[in-house]
Amino acid sequence: MTAAASSHSPLPGYAGLDPDCVLRTLDALGLRGDGRLLQLNSYENRVFQVFLEDGGVVVAKFYRPSRWSDAQILEEHAFACELAAEDVPVVAPRILPAAPGIELLGTPPTLARWHDGAGNHRVAVSDRHAGRAPELEDPAVLQWLGRFLGRLHIVGARRPFAQRRSIDAATFGHAARQRLLDGGFVPDSECTVWSGWCDAALDRVDRAFSSHIDVPRLRLHGDFHPGNIMWRDAGPHVVDLDDACSGPAVQDLWMLLSGDAVAMRAQLAQILAGYRVFRPFDERELALIEPLRTLRMIHHSAWIAERWTDPAFPAAFPWFGSAAYWSQQATQLREQVQAMDEPPLLS
Bigger pLDDT: 108 vs 120: 108
Helices 323-340 & 188-211 angle (0-180, nearest 10): 30
**Mean pLDDT of the region 88-94:** 96
- pLDDT tens across 269-282, in order? 999 999 999 999 99
- At residue 13 the predicted structure's pLDDT band, cuts being 50, 70 and 90, is low
Whether 139-340 and 3-127 are alike in CATH topology: the answer is no
pTM of the model: 0.92
Query: What is the per-residue pLDDT for 246?
Result: 98
Q: How much is the average pLDDT of 94-121?
A: 87
pLDDT in tens, 311-328: 889 999 999 989 999 999
User: Which DSSP letter does residue 37 get?
Assistant: E
Q: What are the pLDDT digits (tens) for 126-148? A: 999 989 999 999 999 999 999 99
Distance (Å, whole) CA 191 – CA 330: 9
Contact 93, 124 (CB under 8 A): yes
**Residue 245 · residue 220 · CB < 8 Å:** yes
Q: Quick one: CA dihedral 230, 233, 236, 239, positive or negative?
A: negative
- The whole-number pLDDT of residue 118 equals 54
Q: Phi/psi at 334 (nearest 5 deg)?
A: -60, -40
What architecture does CATH give domain 139-340? Orthogonal Bundle (1.10)
Sheet of strand 57-62, all strands in order from the earlier edge strand to the far edge:
33-39, 46-52, 57-62, 119-127, 111-116, 102-105
Domain ranges within the chain, ordered by starting residue: 3-127, 139-340
Sign of CA dihedral 248, 249, 252, 253: negative
Torsion angle defined by CA atoms of residues 281, 283, 287 and 290, in that order, rounded to the nearest 10 degrees: 50
Q: 112 falls in which pLDDT band (50, 70, 90)?
A: very high
Question: Which stretches within 247-322 are classed as H helix?
Answer: 261-275, 289-306, 312-316
Distance in angstroms (rounded) separating the CA atoms of residues 287 and 205 = 10
Q: Please state, in angstroms and rounded to a whole number, the distance separating the CA atoms of residues 242 and 76.
A: 7
Which residues have a catalytic role annotated?
223, 240
In whole angstroms, what is the distance from residue 232 CA to residue 96 CA? 27
Mean pLDDT of 333-343: 96
Give the pLDDT mean for 278-288.
96
66: Cα separation from own chain's centroid: 16
Residue 240 confidence (pLDDT): 87
Residue 19 has pLDDT above 70, yes or no: yes
Q: pLDDT digit string (tens) for 30-61?
A: 999 999 999 998 889 999 999 999 999 999 99
What is the share, in percent, of the chain residues with pLDDT greater than 70? 95
Cα–Cα nearest to 223, from 263, 201, 251? 251
One CATH from 3.90.1570, 3.30.200, 1.10.287, 1.10.10 for 3-127: 3.30.200
